[in-house]
Structure 1
């Protein structure tokens, strides 16, 4: 195994994808404990990264500027000044290949699925998990470089001030102890469970005496407002669009159970090993679902056609085939295990 001293990891987006790359960061650090590790990422996802000893430095890549020659020239100067001896591109698309190309590193690698011309820059590192979960595909890069991979570990950051802030927000809504986090939104509408279903589930949770915190991005504020108005119960707390990324991490870290469809915060819950219920149908959990533990409880639509080979199926009716009763039944089983 080559003794790399200065490594650049490239994974700029999105939320779930960055989380999926953290086990590879863990493995890189374990195999090259003395290396200086830098991570290139978009600004909105920077707070997903742990600090030292895992990541020594972070480079913010401005996606909007990547087509501008002046920005590229300055980025090249910055990257070259760091004297990387290896880049590990875990995104493997055009924009990440540009960063890899400009790095000046003599060795440029990516995982096997080199897309959008990234094969012109990076050398594919192929392993036995080529068609398995993306976490294993990324980890194959470490294996191919001669490193050892001992399980799947997520080095997540912890935010003391954000934890205090979230606790204060919850207390202002009467939440003093256990609560359930529900995230109704998703990046693509075909991945979403119907809002009426989320509303009915929240009604059951609230009427059972549980405090329910709905969360998500500012873009999902209308969804949060709809559920709040639909449920009309003091046990429901609407924090959709009201948390920073560090606050969202800490909100999820301390929840009793997490419930959502295939969305970014789901992968935070998985990384933090919170008991979770994940609803899938139009995407393949075998490729990008929560991975690595008994805390994961999957519910898959009976009409799902998604596979690792066809990971996203445009079926607008698929997620609606998961009944509220099915989710409630799994919830009761999970609660029984936790008691």
Structure 2
């Protein structure tokens, strides 16, 4: 009910603010344009890291279509330093998705002039399209994840029902702009920061043990079993633990359970890297074992092989979409007979070890 009231209040406000009942006239105006030429574009991607990375193919396609446009990227405040040197936009503005920060957001948007079009790839409604309209943008494109007439009436174009990968979903949204959406390169994710290539004399296998929720975390003891197998069978391979400060307890548990003889071959980086440093670290890996996480998407964008673990998430929508030869997806099933165990325990250590061996054999044959 609270969400509905927010939408209703925004709807009433916009009727007064725009002196219109809706924004649907913009669809007619958009279709009448002989040439789709926009010189000032704002793009919203204000949610999680993985969401942003899956938006990068669409953002890159927009940049290629409107090479001379001034593009402003509106992002989550945690990612500004990670994004500020990106080549597919000219300016980065942060926003926390809150109504109380809309005035500041509008002021910063208008410092670069009135936008011609707002493209909302992933953000929180109703304040995203509210701010987009208040910015003066004539056309509003938004990816909706469910039907809502109170939102749709204020949009020029939107996607709400789509079965497929999120990357392709974003490309479908921008297709009417004349953006390239069909070539193989169109689906490739990109990292906005520079990474260096380095030479090593050993294999580095990364573990991302944390995830957005506990039900998406493969149990630490299973990671320990995989690490023990790897380190026992090759005396030069190193394990690299990556993750956010929220994952430090998982790292501590991992070290506690891992036999002491292997501790010197584990690089404990959980909570110690910025996003830029994390990207460089992942670029130096030979393989990343992970759930459905932001680091998984960084690895995919960098063309670093992955073994990814899915049970509650849907790999057809959020898993690896490019370079299938580099990525192994393990999909576990939820069944009544295993409801008393941790939901991710349906994926065994042996299954992961098998897929790791397959990836490494292909890469180093």
Q: After TM superposition, list the pairs within 5 Å mapping 1:268-307 onto structure 2.
A: 268-293=298-323, 294-303=325-334
What secondary structure, in the 3-state scheme, does the structure 2 residue paired with 1:79 have? helix
User: 1:310 — aligned with what?
Assistant: none
Q: After TM superposition, list the pairs within 5 Å mapping 1:1-339 onto structure 2.
A: 1-49=35-83, 51=85, 53-63=87-97, 66-68=98-100, 71-81=101-111, 82-91=113-122, 93-94=124-125, 95-113=127-145, 118-126=151-159, 130-149=162-181, 150-151=183-184, 152-159=187-194, 177-209=202-234, 210-231=237-258, 232=260, 233=262, 234-293=264-323, 294-303=325-334, 317-339=342-364
Query: Is the 2:205–2:285 contact (alpha carbons within 8 Å) kept by the matching residues of 1?
Result: yes
Instruction: Compute the displacement of 1:52 (Å).
Output: 5.0
What secondary structure, in the 3-state scheme, does the structure 1 residue paired with 2:122 have? coil
Query: Is the 2:87–2:192 contact (alpha carbons within 8 Å) kept by the matching residues of 1?
Result: no
Instruction: Compute the displacement of 1:92 (Å).
Output: 5.0
**Which stretch has the larger CA shift, 195-204 or 328-337?**
195-204
Aligned length: 316
User: Normalized against structure 2, the TM-score is what?
Assistant: 0.79
User: 1:309 — aligned with what?
Assistant: none
Instruction: Compute the displacement of 1:283 (Å).
Output: 0.7
**Which stretch has the larger CA shift, 320-329 or 129-138?**
129-138
Instruction: Compute the displacement of 1:79 (Å).
Output: 2.0
1:120-171 Cα offsets, whole Å, 9 max, x none, are 53333349x92111110001122122322223122322346xx69xx8xxxx
- Where structure 1 has 5 or more consecutive residues not aligned to the other structure, the ranges are 168-174, 306-313
Query: Is the 2:83–2:193 contact (alpha carbons within 8 Å) kept by the matching residues of 1?
Result: no
Instruction: Compute the displacement of 1:93 (Å).
Output: 3.1
Distance 1:280 1:238, change over 3 A: same
Instruction: Compute the displacement of 1:318 (Å).
Output: 2.8
User: Normalized against structure 1, the TM-score is what?
Assistant: 0.85
1:213-272 Cα offsets, whole Å, 9 max, x none, are 011000000001110121131211211111111010010111100111111111111111
- Where structure 2 has 5 or more consecutive residues not aligned to the other structure, the ranges are 1-34
What secondary structure, in the 3-state scheme, does the structure 2 residue paired with 1:156 have? coil
Alignment partners' CA distance in 1, 2:341 and 2:254 = 20
What secondary structure, in the 3-state scheme, does the structure 1 residue paired with 2:307 have? strand
User: 2:4 — aligned with what?
Assistant: none
Instruction: Compute the displacement of 1:35 (Å).
Output: 1.2
Alignment partners' CA distance in 2, 1:235 and 1:286 = 35
Distance 1:140 1:62, change over 3 A: same
Alignment partners' CA distance in 2, 1:74 and 1:248 = 30
Bigger Rg over Cα: 2
- What RMSD over aligned residues (CA atoms) do the two structures have, in Å? 2.6
